[in-house]
Amino acid sequence: MEASKNGFERITTSVVNLKHLVETASVDSMIDGEQAKLDVAKEYFDKFEVAMDDDFNTADAISAIFELVKYANSNSAGNNSKQYLNALIDNIIKLSDVLGLIVVKKDEILDKEIDDLIAERQQARKDKNFARADEIRDLLISKEIILEDTREGVRWKRR
């Protein structure tokens, strides 16, 4: 059960990460080489279909989804186009939906106190007051909020 939970989280985390890249992407339309990468990603669709045609072989179908997620994670970055990143997201969602896996998390709304703490932590880091920044991080952890510092900015998720 724990392995299944971890696997599912790997898929949902990938979708969240790709959506974050879409939000920060500066280019809308596909750039050189991205269509070729999407063509490679189609191979995972084909593996999925073969598995499902093989008497609904869900183990192999899920394996194809994991391979697609791994491919998406290693072939996406902040310099990719929104169109390319959205195509990867759509591919993961389409395959997951067939198996009834809901991999898109609903956006959560932080209350004002937590928003303020995140902003205060960011300011403390800018001011090189790392003790205060760590104190705020620990406080947020106690409120079940996990912060992820990325190149594109701070992201959060509930534990």
Convert the pLDDT of each residue in 41-64 to its tens digit.
Answer: 999 999 999 999 999 999 999 999
7 alpha carbon, distance to own chain's centre: 13
Taking only the tens place, the pLDDT of each residue in 109-121 is 567 788 888 889 9
| DSSP letter (8 states) at residue 141 | H
Q: Would you say residue 106 has pLDDT above 90?
A: no
Q: Would you say residue 108 has pLDDT above 80?
A: no
Q: Largest alpha-carbon pair distance within the chain?
A: 60
What confidence score (pLDDT) does residue 115 get?
Answer: 80
Taking only the tens place, the pLDDT of each residue in 5-19 is 999 999 999 999 999
Fold for 2-98, please state it.
Four Helix Bundle (Hemerythrin (Met), subunit A) (1.20.120)
Interval 66-74 mean pLDDT: 97
What DSSP element (H or E) covers 116?
helix 112-126
What confidence score (pLDDT) does residue 121 get?
Answer: 93
Share of the chain above pLDDT 90, in %: 74
Report helix angle 34-53 to 82-98, nearest 10. Answer: 0
- For every residue of 52-100, DSSP letters joined together read HHTT--HHHHHHHHHHHHHHHHHT--TTS-HHHHHHHHHHHHHHHHHTT
How far is Cα 74 from Cα 68, in angstroms, rounded to an integer?
10
Tokens, residue 3: 């392995």
Q: Would you say residue 20 has pLDDT above 60?
A: yes
Task: Return the C-alpha torsion angle 130, 135, 136, 142, nearest 10.
Answer: 150
Residue ranges per domain, the chain? 2-98, 112-158
List CB contacts of 156: < 8 A, sequence separation 6 or more: 110, 118, 140, 145, 146, 147, 148
Which pTM does this prediction carry? 0.69
Residue 58 phi/psi, 5° resolution? Answer: -65, -30
